[in-house]
Chain A
């Protein structure tokens, strides 16, 4: 409060007395001490004139969005409408987000023109892995069958045909190896930071 002469001080005190909610209308920087299981925050305002707040809901500004943060994040504490009953944590100054959930029927990335659906990774990979296992078994069996066929006397008597059988067996073996290599890299195919329903 700037320096006032005594007459104005009296008026200023009177005004503060009759409109006390003005003091609650600011945005107060605060430290997140911790986040509760229900998503609310324990806040320590920078200004000692504002008491520590418990169980403060977060207003992300996006309907359906919830966030989990690590302690030490910094956020703005506000009292909605200057109401001492309604503290909220609003604008984030800084912090480590450990989880961000968007509950929405449709999420478009890029622009409103986004029309290509994202792949449901886990579901797709499970089905793909099942198929790949079947294919690997088929290719292994096929390689063996081709190898056996190549040495049959009737096939061996026709060198060109025997050569085709050998080639077919080799490609089947290579494909089975390719399947195994593909599945071997499975741990790296799915994002650990982005998930959908």
Chain B
């Protein structure tokens, strides 16, 4: 499996480091065989279709005739400023919708309806980054146990973890219990945070691809 196994908008990726947190925003640091920065959305794909990520270049540029780019999930919008707004007697969905609208992001259709329907007697969003506004919202006691993250399709998801069993198609290269981390070769990069792998709950996944290396690091809860 070579790095061109991964493409960005159809262009061959020379190196890729794709970080997928269980809570938060995934991002991919790519070295792409092109001399042009992406003009719009970036789709990162694995040749076998095992992985498709939709995002936006957050920062990048061309050096040495190749593109170095950081692609962030969705519109890379959580750094934008959420307007100050106060709420009385509204569901979580309304507050979340307003924050995501300020960020230019989309709420996933798979978001847990129970979480979205939780009633907020009173809530205040200060003028701050949309990411901070989301973080403080999810500190509401009623949302305890609800995770949030961006999905592969670039949409914002929230809900309780199901800890589904991960596909069992890998070679274990290293297991470091003292770091709660394992390094594996995946025959197909389908491992995601929120899954159960090696009988442990997956907290953070980093897929690394290059011409002579394909390795995935997994951190556990």
Q: Hey, which bits of chain A sit against chain B, CB under 8 A?
A: 13, 16-18, 20-21, 23-24, 48-55, 79, 84-87
Interchain nearest-CB distance for B49 vs A (Å): 33
Q: A51-B124, A85-B122 are in contact. Are A20 and B84 (CB under 8 A)?
A: no
A20 CA to B126 CA, complexed, in Å: 10
Q: Which residues of B contact A52 (CB under 8 A)?
A: 86
Binary interface encoding of chain B residues 85-103 relative to chain A, with 1 for a CB under 8 A from any of its CBs, else 0: 1101000000000000000
Q: Chain A's nearest CB lies how many Å from the CB of B205? A: 20
Partner of A20, one of B122, B123, B136: B136
Could you give, for residues 135-153 of chain B, a 1 whenever the CB lies within 8 Å of some chain A CB and a 0 otherwise? 1100110000000000000
Residues on B with C-beta less than 8 A from A51 are 84-86, 124-126
Is residue B18 contacting chain A, with contact meaning CB distance below 8 A? no
> Looking at the complex, which one of A13, A17, A18, A50 makes contact with B126 (CB distance below 8 Å)?
A50
Q: Which of B105-129 contact A (CB under 8 A)?
A: 120-129
Contact assessment for A17 and B135 in the assembled complex, using a CB-CB cutoff below 8 Å = yes
Question: Total number of A-B contacts with CB less than 8 angstroms?
Answer: 63
Taking a contact as CB atoms under 8 Å apart, the answer to whether A20 and B124 are in contact is no
**Contacting pair B132 A16 (CB below 8 A):** yes
Give the residue name and chain of the B residue nearest to A19 (CB).
B135
30 contacts between A and B (CB under 8 A): A16-B132, A17-B129, A17-B135, A18-B135, A20-B128, A20-B132, A20-B133, A20-B135, A20-B136, A21-B136, A21-B139, A23-B132, A23-B136, A24-B136, A48-B84, A48-B127, A49-B84, A49-B126, A50-B126, A51-B125, A53-B124, A54-B86, A54-B88, A79-B124, A84-B123, A84-B124, A84-B125, A85-B120, A85-B121, A86-B122
Q: How far is the CB of B181 from chain A (nearest CB, A)?
A: 21
- Name the residue of chain A whose CB is nearest to the CB of B83: A51
